[in-house]
Amino acid sequence: AQSVTQPDIHITVSEGASLELRCNYSYGATPYLFWYVQSPGQGLQLLLKYFSGDTLVQGIKGFEAEFKRSQSSFNLRKPSVHWSDAAEYFCAVGARNDYKLSFGAGTTVTVRA
């Protein structure tokens, strides 16, 4: 079964600074990988996803993520954060033979002025 680890529970970053959120997955084959964002009390919104091809994936809101097979990682980055990026971020992995997603525990991002 697949699983996801997000090592950082909470990250604080200054507005305008860069952001990187870590995600490590466990899966026996090439996975489907996703990043979602959740604002307080809301559902999850898809930021980006990786299925195959170019390992650098561009998403919405200026986010990108890079798939590194050798490290079993799919880290999320943003070059310059805005106060509106304060939220909880979830990495997820999906198997290729079914449509069930496994989510990490999430990383809460706080943006300070």
Partner 1 sequence: SQTIHQWPATLVQPVGSPLSLECTVEGTSNPNLYWYRQAAGRGLQLLFYSVGIGQISSEVPQNLSASRPQDRQFILSSKKLLLSDSGFYLCAWKVGAGSGYGYTFGSGTRLTVV
CB of 17 to partner 1, least distance (A): 25
The secondary structure of the chain, three-state, reads CCEEECCCCEEEEECCCCEEECCEEECCCCCEEEEEEECCCCCEEEEEEECCCCCEEECHHHCEEEEEHHHCEEEEEECCCCHHHCEEEEEEEECCCCCCEEECCCEEEEEEC
- Residues between 73 and 92 with contacts to partner 1, criterion CB under 8 A: 90
Interaction between residue 31 and partner 1 (CB under 8 A) = no
97 binds partner 1 (CB under 8 A): no
Selected from 14, 42, 55, 58, the binder of partner 1 by CB under 8 A is: 42
